[in-house]
Structure 1
Amino acid sequence: MSDSVSAPKRRRIQRSESPVYKLDDDDDSYVPYVPVAQRRQEKLEKLSSWGANAERERARKQKEEIEEREDEEKEEERRKERARKERTLLMEAQEVHSKKDSEDAKKSEQQRAEEAEAEILAAIASRRKLASDLELAKGIQYTESLKTSWRPPRYIRERTEEQHERIRQKHHILVDGEDIPPPIEHFVDMKVPNALLDFFKSKRITDPTPIQLQGIPTAFAGRDLIGIAFTGSGKTLCFCLPLIMMALEEETKLPLIRGEGPVGVILCPSRELANQTYENLLQWCSALAKDGKYPQLNTLLCIGGISMNEQSHVMNKGIHIVVATPGRLIDMLEKKRFTFNNCKYMCMDEADRMIDLGFEDDVRNIMSFFKRQRQTLLFSATMPRKIQDFAQQSLIKPVLVNVGRAGAANLDVLQVVEYVKQEAKMVYLLECLQKTPPPVIIFSENKNEVDDIQEYLLLKGVEAVSIHGSKSQEERQYAIKSFKSGAKDVMVASGVASKGLDFNEIQHVIIFSMPKEIEDYVHQIGRTGRSGKTGIATTFVNMNTPEQTLLDLKYLLMEAGQKVPPFLATIDDPRAAQGGSLKGCPVCGGLGHSISNCPKLEDTQRRQMASHRGADDGGY
């Protein structure tokens, strides 16, 4: 039994391995035990050493910073010292300007603009007054006006100042000055000789124009005068009649003999204007002499381009009146063909152009030939404030007579402004010529363009003549004579024909190229609408026309109550956007810009620079 039943098997129990202990003395991982009190003490010492190190590091950094700051200050001092040694006046000026700019930044845009304009105006106004060298050298100053024998009629003298002012307001006359002579509404009351009155009536001149109404009595009274009036308003008679009466009085007292005279001189900026004034004087003096009661007055024309020998019959007698351009007059005075020893009347026609067109030195030279006090008269249609201020200083108790704004357009002229592309101008010109019957004047600023227009019109069968500064005196005289006589229908001209020239019955003026200066435009359209008649002025503008000029034109049209075309109406004035004042330019009278961007002032400065360069190069 025991053999047949086997005993149960024993299960082997798996046990983990026994740890092995290394008891070698070479083991480096052994850390001996450190008591707690000792560990605390070591930690405290370690923390103390860290604090001391941080304090030392902070002190070291502060010292380094102080040393760096001192080094920088020393370097700055050395740099300033070098800068002081190298300092120039230019650098100082730049610093002053930068300081001024910072002050200006605080001001408003409008204030800055006004101050800049005042500075420019003061700079160009700082010119010495018009006087002879003798008077300036000896400090001679006249305080009283010339005394004359003329007096207005008693009933006019007995009027009150309020009555005088009512007459001026009626004719839109503005006056300024001391002790202003009264306005007189009839030539008879001015004591004009009957021979002249009859001649005026034959020319349909019955009553004085506004400028004559106040200007002639002022000139008769011996007063210095600044006369401003529209083109075609009768300014020529206003300054010629007083000179004729003064010369007549001198000749009646004691007749002039050869070598004596003149009594008075009239200065003009162009030969054509001088010739026109001379012809008017001849007519008026001949009308006086024909009456038989008055002596013949001798008038001399003194301009370049003509031979003075042709007028030997005048030179061999006493000369009463000289009409001249500055260059030829100086030449005659230096050659002592006549003297100004007894000259006591001087008039400058288109006075603003006389002073601005490089003639100022010539005018001063002419002044130096005067040996006595003279009566001075300045006349123009466009006399900006700059010229008025300059004239006020140069004249003796002057009377300013102003009919309308200086530089305003003639209200009798219908102004039409049309946008015409440059390449279409010539073709459109023929259409414009159909608007009115001849005579017609066409103006262009470019001399070559003047010749091109004339050639084109001649090819199209239009009877045309041309005139500009590069033509000879004979050609210029032929053009004016044939146009005035009606032999030619159209005159093509540069600006030389726009100043003061009087053509009969001009119904239409075409401005082919708009001038940069608005003054020139006013003179050009003033060739029509003269002596109370009406006329048309058509002006071509396009993209080549400066925006500033267009803005001047826009304001001029608005002032005259004319139609402003849409393309002009859309041009905005930058001064309005800046909040600036819209006053006119004191240099050229343009309403669309200020003195800071005046084209006339820029042109004047350019000419001055060119003349200085020419002087530096030996005058070549």
Structure 2
Amino acid sequence: MEKRTGERGDLDLESEYVPLKKRRELNAKRVEDYVKKKRTGAENDGDGGGSGHPAGDGSAEIGAAAKTTLWDQSRDVQKLQEDLKQTEKEKLAEHEKKIIDDLAEKRALQAVQELAKDVRYTEPMKTMWRPPKFLREMSQTKQDKVRDKMNILVGGDDIPPPCNTFREMKYPSSIIRALKEKGITKPSPIQIQGLPVANAGRDMIGIAFTGSGKTLVFVLPLIMIAWEQEKRLPLIAGEGPCGLVLCPSRELARQTFDIINHFIGVLEREGGPKLRSLLAIGGTNLRDQQEALRKGVHICVATPGRLIDFLEKKKINFDACKYVCLDEADRLIDLGFEEEIRKIFDFFASQRQTLMFSATMPRKIQIFASSALVKPVVVNVGRAGAANLDVIQEVEFVRQEAKIVYLLECLQKTPPPVLIFCENKGDVDDIHEYLLLKGVEAVGIHGGKDQEEREQSMREFREGKKDVLVATDVAAKGLDFPDIQHVINYDMPKEIENYVHRIGRTGRQGKTGVATTFVNAATPQTILLDLKQILIEAKQRVPPMMADLDEEEIAAQDVGGVRGCAYCGGLGHRVTECPKLETEKMKAFTGAISSDRGFADRAGTKGYAGEW
């Protein structure tokens, strides 16, 4: 128990974090006791001065008591409240830091050989790329002005200067023509700073809102590395890859693979070297992938499960791999791929350039990244976890039983294409069937469908043959659909990060989109508070039923250098009340129980009886 003594008396301060309601009650009681004490003292002084001592010292006491005015009392009370609040913030900051430190993975993200030999890389990878001379000679003040104009925040040492055009980045004319075929003529803010960092061989954490062009930041340097490798020493059968991209979902891996193949095709068409790429994902023909590996590949795009399968069977190796990118890095960790990522890194034999990208990058992921990166550069366009400002966000209160009927009315807001997100597979199937019965051209995807059906649905939606795509969060992260007009959240997601990614499917590349979210009495208050702060931050209309929500004053304040939750990034709560953290703890707890039960069951069998 910590005790602080001041001129206003003794205040007992509990060492553990105290809930808001209890804090308010304690503060009110302390203020009331303090005011009573002051008043009692003033009355005693007044009585002493008026009993037989009309002048001299008695009059001085009366004068001193008279100086204790209501203004003085109010000032003292205000100071007391500020001191108490400051003490609470200090305790909360210390408590939150302890929680995050406990969550932080203590093991370094390194290969087994590196850990065994205590190999530590202290300098980043070297490349042949250099920015133009006039940019190298640009003063730091001018560089900062360019970044401020684009709302680019950077962190790290020896950061390469921002480049305003692809020509300044020294990309060949064939690459620039391939960009024009995609309708890209000038770089976006994340590309202005991110591409020079990646071209220079620096490890990087890239954070930018959805639809800002993060994919090109890691695709273009990867292609240039593969091109340079092929020019200097061509790959032969069984060799490669030179670079690796890891994705959390098959759909995102397929999309990235198609983008890479577009640039590879243009390079080959214009006389460049033939670069080979591989898509290693589950649910596809294993024989075709193994055939591509036998020929040798320059670039591999993969999901963790299939890649580990190839590595353990020695169908692929990382002897020549110098470039690794984790796309949607927070999702890779959240989906339980952390051990798989560590296993993949075990197969590296030498230093590699590592990049991590996402629209949301909670502190836990940044701590995880710090063990894998060498002198990393953080490039942040806007607040990590902030919603895209080009999306008009609308929140509507709809009763659970009326949601599916109101959905048809909601579809009339904009022309197609429209994306509808649900929390579970059953709702996807129900809504898909309902829309088909109502004559709406719709398709649905979720993790329970086979890969061929998922790819066909995505293809038909992208090509405009279907007007509505109903999906779970497998379509929420990283996927780029052309000209999505409207995103409907049939269910409010359980985590605010997923909300940010969902609505980011519209309003891309500077276009305006609409996002409608259904909420009702069953929606948890914590997620509603997070949503409220997202709406306020994006200067969107806050509906009346959310405006009246009571929240902790301290939730959205900067405490210990952290605003909101340090774990999930939500602005409506602190890490001490994070629903995502509670879910993760429950998963870990139930997983541990299941593991123990499984071992106990095996111990009772013939093969384990002696060992037990």
What's the TM-score once normalised by structure 1's chain length? 0.81
Q: Percent identity of the aligned residues?
A: 58
The answer to whether structure 1 residue 382 and structure 2 residue 354 are counterparts is no
Change (3 A) 1:129 1:575: farther
Distance 1:218 1:103, change over 3 A: closer
Q: Is the 8 A contact 1:586 1:595 kept in 2?
A: yes
Residue identity opposite 1:363 in structure 2: I
Partners of 1:126 and 1:198 lie apart in 2 by: 44
- Distance across 1 between alignment mates of 2:245 and 2:319: 16
What's the secondary structure of 1:333's corresponding residue?
helix
Preserved contact between residue 443 and residue 512 of structure 1 (Cα < 8 Å): yes
Q: CA deviation at 1:550?
A: 0.5
Which one of the candidate residues 540, 546, 567 is aligned to 2:524? Answer: 546
Distance 1:189 1:583 in 2: 37
1:174 alignment partner, one of 145, 153, 160: 153
What is the SS of the residue equivalent to 1:227?
strand
Instruction: Give, in whole Å, the separation in 1 of the partners of 2:14 and 2:392.
Output: 50
CA distance in 2, matches of 1:358, 1:313: 30
Structure 2: unaligned runs, 5 residues or longer: 1-11, 19-25, 27-83, 602-612
- The alpha-carbon distance between structure 1 residues 392 and 307, as it changes in their structure 2 partners (threshold 3 A), is same
Which of these two proteins has the greater Rg computed from alpha carbons?
A: 1
Counterpart check, 1:254 vs 2:233: yes
Partner deviation per Cα, 1:434-470 (whole Å, 9 max, x = no partner): 1111110000102111111111111111111111111
Would the aligned equivalents of 1:223 and 1:375 in 2 still touch at CA under 8 Å? yes
> Which residue matches 2:7?
none
**Among 547, 572, 591, the residue aligned to 1:592:** 572
Aligned partner of 1:233 among 212, 235, 251: 212
For structure 1, which segment, 259-268 or 121-130, has the greater mean C-alpha deviation from structure 2 after superposition?
A: 121-130
Question: Conserved in 2, the CA contact under 8 Å of 1:269 and 1:354?
Answer: yes
Comparing 128-137 with 269-278, greater Cα deviation is found at: 128-137
Aligned to 1:189: 168
1:476 positional shift:
1.0
Map 1:47-126; keep pairs closer than 5 Å: 104=16, 108-126=87-105
Give, as a single letter, the amino acid of the residue that structure 2 aligns with 1:241: L
Q: Deviations over 1:198-252 (max 9, x none)?
A: 1211222011100111011101100000000010011111101001000000000
The one of 480, 485, 488 equivalent to 2:466 is 488
Give distance in 2, aligned partners of 1:462 and 1:577.
Answer: 43
CA contact (8 A) 1:349 1:380 kept: yes
The 3-state SS of whatever aligns with 2:371 is: helix
TM superposition shift of 1:583: 2.2
Q: Deviations over 1:255-314 (max 9, x none)?
A: 10111110010000001000100011011110111101x101100000011112224552
The answer to whether the 8 A contact 1:148-1:222 is kept is: yes
Q: 1:469 aligns with which of 421, 432, 447?
A: 447
Q: Which residue of 1 aligns with 2:329?
A: 351
Runs of 4+ residues deviating >6 angstroms? 577-580
Cα contact 1:113–1:580 (8 A) shared by 2? no
Q: Secondary structure at the match of 2:412?
A: coil
1:145 aligns with 2:124: yes
Match among 270, 275, 280 for residue 259 of structure 2: 280
Once the two structures are TM-superposed, the CA of residue 187 in structure 1 deviates from its matched residue by 0.2
Give 1:339 shift. Answer: 0.6
Offset at residue 126 of structure 1 (A): 4.2
Matched, 1:610 2:584: no
Superposition deviation, residue 611 in structure 1 = 2.3
Q: State the SS of the aligned residue for 1:425.
A: helix
- 1:109 is displaced (CA, Å) by 4.2
Match of 1:308 in 2: 286
SS in 2 for 1:181: coil
Q: What amino acid sits opposite 2:337 in the alignment?
A: F
1:208 and 2:184 are equivalent in the alignment: no
Which whole-Å deviations, capped at 9, do the CAs of 1:475-497 have from their partners, x for residues lacking one?
Answer: 21111111111111100000111
Give the residue type in structure 1 aligned to 2:140. E
Matching residue of 2:313: 335
d(CA) in 1 for partners of 2:171, 2:556: 55
The CA deviation at 1:579 is 9.6
Instruction: Name the CA distance, whole Å, in 2 between partners of 1:326 and 1:380.
Output: 17
- What is the identity, as a one-letter code, of the residue corresponding to 1:201? K
Distance 1:596 1:102, change over 3 A: closer
The one-letter code matched in structure 1 to 2:438 is: K
2: CA distance, partners of 1:579 / 1:403? 21
Deviation for aligned residue 1:136: 1.2
Q: How many residues align?
A: 520
* Residue equivalent to 1:199: 178
SS at match of 1:358: helix
Q: Please give the per-residue CA displacement for 1:69-126, whole angstroms capped at 9, x wherever unaligned.
A: xxxxxxxxxxxxxxxxxxxxxxxxxxxxxxx996559985444433321221111014
* Structure 2 counterpart of 1:119, one-letter code: K
Match of 2:202 among 202, 223, 232: 223
Amino acid in the other structure paired with 2:568: C
- The one-letter code of the counterpart of 2:452 is E
Q: CA deviation at 1:565?
A: 1.0
Q: 1:521 aligns with which of 499, 517, 520?
A: 499
Q: Does 1:414 align with 2:392?
A: yes
**1: CA distance, partners of 2:132 / 2:161:** 10
- Cα deviation, 1:399-452, whole Å, max 9, x if unaligned, reads 000000000000010000111111111111101101111110000102111111
For the 8 Å contact 2:247–2:326, the answer to whether it is kept is: yes
After TM superposition, the structure 1 = structure 2 runs for residues 359-438 of structure 1, keeping only pairs within 5 Å, are: 359-438=337-416
Distance 1:578 1:432, change over 3 A: closer
The one of 536, 551, 558 aligned to 1:558: 536
* 8 A contact 2:209–2:382 mirrored in 1: yes
AA of the residue aligned to 2:373: L
Looking at structure 2, the residues matched to 287 and 167 of structure 1 have their Cα atoms a distance apart, in angstroms, of 32
Once the two structures are superposed, residues 597-619 of structure 1 have per-residue CA deviations (whole angstroms, 9 ceiling, x without a partner) of 11211122122223222321237
Equivalent position SS for 1:301? strand
Q: Deviations over 1:485-515 (max 9, x none)?
A: 1111100000111010111110100000000
Asked if the contact 1:227/1:402 (under 8 Å) is kept, the reply is: yes
Give the deviation of 1:580 after TM superposition.
Answer: 9.3
Residues 428 and 103 of structure 1: is their aligned pair in 2 closer, same or farther, counting only changes over 3 Å? closer
Determine the C-alpha separation between the residues in 2 that align with 1:613 and 1:328. 28
Q: Secondary structure at the match of 1:617?
A: helix
Range 511-520 or range 130-139, more displaced? 130-139
